[in-house]
Amino acid sequence: MPTPLETTTGAAATALLGLGVYRPARVVTNDEVAGPIDSSDEWIRTRSGIRTRRFAAADENVITMGIAAGRDALASAGIEPGQVGTVIVATSTHWYQTPGCAPQIAVGLGMASPAAFDISAGCSGFCHAVALASDLVRGGTARYVLVIGVEKLTDTLDATDRSTAFLFADGAGAVVVGPSDEVRIGPTVWGSDGSQKDAITQTKDTLSYIDDPDPGKVRPYLQMSGSAVFRWAAHSLEKVCREALDRAGVAPDQLDAMIPHQANGRIIEIMAKVLGLRPDCAVANDIETSGNTSAASVPLAMEELLRTGKARPGDTALLIAFGAGLTYAAQVVTLPELAA
């Protein structure tokens, strides 16, 4: 007869308790990236909605940027580093298979011995990490979880690739997930479509690059079929958004804000239109000045809405993201406080 085991239970409900971001100092215009791809400011703005983006400095990486965003998130939540039980980092641009960057960020923030791990779900990684964090708190595994989405995508770009060179950028965003008296993080709707694995990928795998004897070999770069991603998003995301709203018990006209992954300005416009949002519903468009920062884009866009007053702490917002895999995730949340 098996020995009976005990289990843990946690909070009945969870919330985003604080938000912090890191935006690199260097602002890069369309004119700066247009030359190598034989393009123009007008072509880039029309195709993507981007006017500028941020590029990290040579001495910045996902660890340094993650620490900066995490520190501000903890401050805005009023949580000490020692209170955090788990750190989850969503990234695709940490250049070590092992060790992960999450334990290093935890040490950099002065934490003692939290569980800390990275996840790779492409641009939807932040929404995946929020889902995991909420479940950890409700399950009693951790009381407070620091979630970070961070990317240094400029390290992955071929400056002559017309599909990626103008689109991607760098940055970090973080939230603290913890217990709440009321439900402030709704159920997550997530999934994947592996049949679309080639829509966003590398030009070659790392092992093939290492084993290639050609002294003039070209290292792996990020590559994307923009048309395939656009078609998939336009066809599939409305269902995901509506299911997340239904599971949270929220009607589209009850939303105060929609914060989609900042993939493309045209995709954002389509999503807002098909959902029939209120005219005064704030729709994040941080891609205009930040570019596509993959796993960092949702928290960065959230911060921009709150910082500019387009949305306020306590507002009800839909988060939706999709990315390499293809993966996707969505949840309705109550917006947190910003770091002072």
* Residues tagged active-site: 123, 261, 292
- Cis bond before residue 146 (omega within 30° of 0): no
CA–CA distance from 132 to each of 137, 138, 270, 339 (Å)? Answer: 9, 10, 29, 23
> CB under 8 Å to 42, separation ≥6 — which residues?
none
Give me the half-sphere count of Cα atoms (radius 13 Å) on the Cβ side of residue 15: 17
Whole-angstrom distance between the N-terminal and C-terminal Cα of the chain? 56
> CB under 8 Å to 1, separation ≥6 — which residues?
none
How many other CB atoms are there within 10 angstroms of residue 155's CB atom? 14
Asked if residues 290 and 262 have their Cβ atoms less than 8 Å apart, the reply is yes
Distance CA 281, CA 274 (A): 14
Distance CA 295, CA 37 (A): 25
Residue reference for tokens 């949270």: 248
CA–CA distance from 173 to each of 24, 62, 66, 80, 297 (Å)? Answer: 12, 11, 7, 18, 8
Q: Please name every residue paired with 317 in a beta bridge, in sequence order, or none if there are none.
A: 257, 333
Burial class (CB in 10 A: 0-12, 13-18, 19+), 259: buried
Classify strands 52-55 and 26-29 as parallel, antiparallel or unpaired. antiparallel
Distance CA 70, CA 325 (A): 26
Residue reference for tokens 């911060």: 303
